[in-house]
Chain A
Amino acid sequence: QVQLQQWGAGQLKSSETLSLTCAVSGGSLRDYSWTWIRQSPVRGLEWIGGVRHSESTYNSSLKGRISISLDTSRRHLSLRLSSVTAADTALYYCARGVTVNLSFYLDVWGKGTTVTVSS
């Protein structure tokens, strides 16, 4: 059974870098889209990016600030988001995506990490 355990700093100041890690236990890493999603009252659920077969894709609204990587030896998915502002305050989830053509669905989710950015 695949489980995702995530952690990272929950309190940041504006301009700092958000850094979250998601440990994947069980199952294969191959052929899945390892994904970060965030949720806030203002923006709802938002796909922020993912990595599959060593190729990362990002939400264009975050390009230039975001980096997502998968360390297959440690089975860790990582998210780094630089120059954060209050608009990045959200509950961040890691999730496993099953890709079908261009679409994917998220069948396993982490419990979420709350990130709050203050000025």
Chain B
Amino acid sequence: QSFLTQPPSVSGAPGQRVTISCTGTISNIGAPSDVHWYKQLPGTAPQLLVYLNNLRPSGVSDRFSGFRSGTSASLAITGLQADDEADYYCQAYDNRQSASVFGGGTKLTVL
């Protein structure tokens, strides 16, 4: 069982907007702890998508945006494209575990 809870799957049609939620507790996201998001394509390592809640690394499209509030965070993807199909993970520091923890991952399917 993951310390951060994500929906197992989400889907959307090309061009649509989807959001992926990441629900934590007062010992992690609600501490508050910054939330980071990763995208993982099959057979490859995760790649940083959003860091410090809402910042994007150089080269990441502004179609991706992050938001944190209370004990939850979310990742929004607008203008869905076929190559957005991947697994997405959230990450935050947990005070109780004294460790960085991840969500269980959400598989995004582009219909």
User: Is B52 in contact with A100, judged by CB distance below 8 angstroms?
Assistant: yes
Interface range on chain B (Cβ under 8 Å from partner) = 20 to 34
Q: In angstroms, how far is the closest chain A Cβ from the Cβ of B105?
A: 6
Q: In angstroms, how far is the closest chain B Cβ from the Cβ of A46?
A: 7
Chain A residues contacting B103 (CB-CB under 8 Å) are 44
Q: Judge whether A103 is part of the interface by a CB distance below 8 angstroms.
A: yes
Chain A residues contacting B33 (CB-CB under 8 Å) are 102-103
Interface residues of A: mostly helix, strand, loop or mixed? strand
Known: A45-B46, A93-B46. 8 other contacts (CB 8 A): A44-B2, A44-B102, A45-B89, A100-B52, A105-B52, A105-B91, A106-B91, A109-B45
Residues of B within 8 A of A (CB): 2, 33-34, 36, 38, 44-48, 51-52, 57, 89, 91-93, 95, 97-105
Q: List 10 A-B contacts (CB under 8 A).
A: A44-B89, A45-B46, A60-B99, A93-B45, A102-B95, A105-B34, A106-B36, A106-B91, A109-B45, A109-B46
